[in-house]
Amino acid sequence: MKSEKNISKLTPEEWTAFLNGERGTETFSGEETSEMREMQEAWELSGTVFSHSAADPDKAWAKLNKQLDKTPQPAEQPTRRLFRRVMQYAATILVLVALGVTGYWLSRPKQPVTSQWVVQQSVVQPTVIKQVTLPDGTIVSLNADSRIEYPESFSGQKRTVKLVGEAFFDVHHDALHPFIIETEGAEIEVLGTSFNVSAYPGKEKVEVNVRTGTVRLVSTRKKGKQAEEILPAGQRGWVNLSDGSTSSQLGVAPNYLSWVNKDIRFKNTPLSEVFGVLENTYHVKVEGANAHIDTLRYTADFEKQNLDFIVDVIGRTLNLKVSKTDDGIVFAMKK
């Protein structure tokens, strides 16, 4: 048996090339050639085939040990010692390959994660407000004829959802990941706060009423200089969809949450606005028979009352006739 000193000069790459059939013995020295032929015989006897795609050192050790256990003794003892040396080299080579494969998978560019978007939509006349809990813990209450779209999980720097209609948001605070609501003509950005967004199709504006925290309202229709409003708690703002301009006003709309809590307050309010609040709260069309009725003013508070009761009180107070039709409720002057 030759000294192991000469064999140890060979690199793992040279061993791999030889055992894989990529390099012949003619490229080695005389002493190396004799040793390499013995190694090849032992390698083939062990039944081991080198493969980059199957770099499994543990499996190689187990397979070689199994072959060694079947080897007759003591006549073939020198071959057994040679097997041990093959086993050491084979394991070393396979470990190097396994490390290379692992390094490749860890260092390769990460592919963007795509999430399926979920759509939640309320019914036309909900008896109970529909609530949706988003993946980050944000709670959203949806008004009638409204829908919200959001991913199954938030990824990236922003938490983005899409809203059509009206919803009240109680946003989970996360300073590192702003919460973004996209609507037609507007974008609302917050960190953690509660507020109401009304963005029904066909309306003249997108309106935001802030209950707690601070909201940034941005027009996405304004060309040139960006139009935006910073809205603190107790303030409202809106985007005019006709020209993309933004405006704000100190104080929230008196009944912006009536559709949630059914608490309604009118103070010298034109009936045209009264009708609008009732429609948005109870989802039944309410109107005056002529323009004069729309200009009448009304003052009253209603706490968690049904629509029939409120309509009857308004009619009696203003001496108006109330008619129910297939289209809704109509107020008219008495003859």
Q: Which pLDDT band, with edges at 50, 70 and 90, does 190 fall under?
A: very high
Nearest by Cα to 241 from 276, 275, 202: 202
16 touches 50 (CB < 8 A) = yes
- Residue whose entry in the numeric block shows the structure tokens 């938490």: 159
CA distance 239 to 137: 28
**Residue 128 pLDDT more than 60?**
yes
Residue ranges covered by each domain of the chain: 4-107, 117-250, 258-333
pLDDT digits (tens, 9 = 90+) for 37-54: 666 665 555 554 444 444
Most confident range, picked from 15-19, 53-57, 115-119: 115-119
**Residue 207 pLDDT more than 90?**
yes
Q: Which residue has the higher pLDDT, 18 or 154?
A: 154
pTM: 0.64
CATH 1.20.58.110 fits 117-250, yes or no: no
Q: What is the pLDDT of residue 90?
A: 56
33 backbone dihedrals φ, ψ, rounded to 5°: -65, -45
Report, as an integer, the average pLDDT of 108-130.
63
Q: What is the pLDDT of residue 4?
A: 44
Q: Which pLDDT band, with edges at 50, 70 and 90, does 179 fall under?
A: very high
- Residue whose entry in the numeric block shows the structure tokens 């048996």: 1
Q: What is the mean pLDDT of the chain?
A: 79
CA distance 254 to 177: 31
CATH ID of 258-333, from 3.30.390.30, 3.20.20.140, 3.90.870.20, 3.55.50.30: 3.55.50.30
DSSP 70-87: TS-TTTTHHHHHHHHHHH
**Residue 156 pLDDT more than 90?**
no
290 backbone dihedrals φ, ψ, rounded to 5°: -150, 175
Q: What is the pLDDT of residue 53?
A: 40
Task: Give Dmax over CA atoms of the chain in angstroms.
Answer: 126
Q: What is the pLDDT of residue 49?
A: 46
Report, as an integer, the average pLDDT of 194-207.
94
Distant-in-sequence, close-in-space partners of 174: CB < 8 Å, separation ≥ 6: 136, 159, 191, 192
What does the block give as tokens for 301? 């508070």
pLDDT digits (tens, 9 = 90+) for 106-115: 455 544 444 5
**Cα separations in angstroms, 47 against 44, 178, 330:** 5, 60, 92
Q: What is the pLDDT of residue 325?
A: 87
Q: What is the pLDDT of residue 121?
A: 73
Q: Work out the percent of the chain whose per-residue pLDDT is above 90.
A: 54
Q: What is the pLDDT of residue 119?
A: 79
What does the block give as tokens for 213? 């925290």
CA distance 96 to 52: 10
Report strand pairing: 320-324 vs 286-288: unpaired
Q: Which residue has the higher pLDDT, 205 or 16?
A: 205
Report strand pairing: 159-170 vs 147-151: antiparallel
- Residue whose entry in the numeric block shows the structure tokens 């019914």: 123
Write down the H helix ranges in 187-302.
258-261, 271-282, 291-295
Q: Which pLDDT band, with edges at 50, 70 and 90, does 118 fall under?
A: confident
